[in-house]
Homo-oligomer: A and B are copies of this chain.
Amino acid sequence: MPQLTHPEVDRIRLDHVLAALGNPVRLGVIARLAAGEHLNCTTALPDVPKSSASHHWRVLRESGLLHQQREGRFITMTLRRRELDERFPGLLDAVLTAAAETA
């Protein structure tokens, strides 16, 4: 399995974060993680073809939005909330509020 690489917090790029969030499937994943859901790569997106799901996870990980960790047969996902709030104050809150109010 390939190495799961994550950008350091000071390398997280605004345009990459916005592009990653600019997709309804990925925005939905981030909203669910922010709401406290526990997601893993096998169960999180049951209606999305596996290759599309893999693409979405990669975009979310490489943008710096989430952290992926192998746990046995699964890869679990954690929102990098504290780091994102440190890097871009108020951004994730504004996005999540907008997502909740216009869903």
The distance from the CB of A63 to the nearest CB of chain B, in whole angstroms, is 9
Q: Name the interface residues of A84-103: CB closer than 8 Å to any CB of B.
A: 87-91, 93-95, 97-99, 102
Q: What is the total number of copies of this protein in its complex?
A: 2
The chain B residue with its CB closest to the CB of A12 is B102
For this complex, into which size category does the number of interface residues on chain A fall?
20 to 34
A24 interface contact, C-beta 8 A: yes
Which one, B15, B87, B94, B98, contacts A24 given CB within 8 A?
B15
The distance from the CB of A22 to the nearest CB of chain B, in whole angstroms, is 3
Which one, B18, B27, B90, B93, contacts A21 given CB within 8 A?
B18
The chain B residue with its CB closest to the CB of A19 is B22
